[in-house]
Amino acid sequence: LGLELALQALEVPFLRTAVGDRFIHQTLVEKGWVLGGEASGHMLCLDRTSTGDGIVSALQVLEVMARSGRSLAELCEGMQKMPQVMINVPVAATARARLEDCEPVRKAREAVEARMGTRGRVILRSSGTEPLIRVTLEGEDGEQVQQLAEELAAVVRQELG
């Protein structure tokens, strides 16, 4: 969320895609963009390579530092890291498929999103590798983010756990 807000302030376009570099790659190609990434740190630099490559990403950052004469800390000054909370809710394997159709969870998510406003974000997704639903919240107020994440996780646990 911090990166998104920093890019908005610079009037740099920003889009969210589904999780996974194939979705990021597809969006970059469709938009004619060259840089994309995930919160995990995985980045795609399509002007240098067609797949995610940490060494290429690191070299890109070093190139900017060398050209600008600025340190990494200076380059990151415009970005404020936002508190993030992720709660893994264990569920039966069959419950992961029901996440999208669960009305109480949808309503709880909408209520949390309304309370967080435009400077917060809610991610609810099934793990692709474990019988879990990941409840992730980001926002400016760490205490609020923690409280709302716990409230939403409790609804997920009650309905799907």
pLDDT digits (tens, 9 = 90+) for 72-130: 999 988 888 889 999 999 998 888 778 888 999 999 999 999 999 888 999 999 888 89
CA of 148: how far to CAs of 7, 43, 55, 85, in Å?
26, 30, 37, 9
| Structural domain count, the chain | 2
**pLDDT band per the 50, 70, 90 thresholds, residue 133:** very high
Q: Verify that 47 and 96 share a domain, yes or no.
A: no
Q: Verify that 48 and 89 share a domain, yes or no.
A: no
The last residue of one of the domains, among 75, 106, 128, is 75
40 in Cβ contact with 136 (< 8 Å): no
What the block records as the tokens of 27 is: 């969006």
Tell me, what's the pLDDT at 71?
96
**pLDDT band per the 50, 70, 90 thresholds, residue 66:** very high
Tell me, what's the pLDDT at 53?
77
pTM, two decimals, is: 0.72
For the chain, give the percent of residues with pLDDT over 70. 100
Q: Verify that 29 and 70 share a domain, yes or no.
A: yes
Report the SS3 class of residue 101.
helix
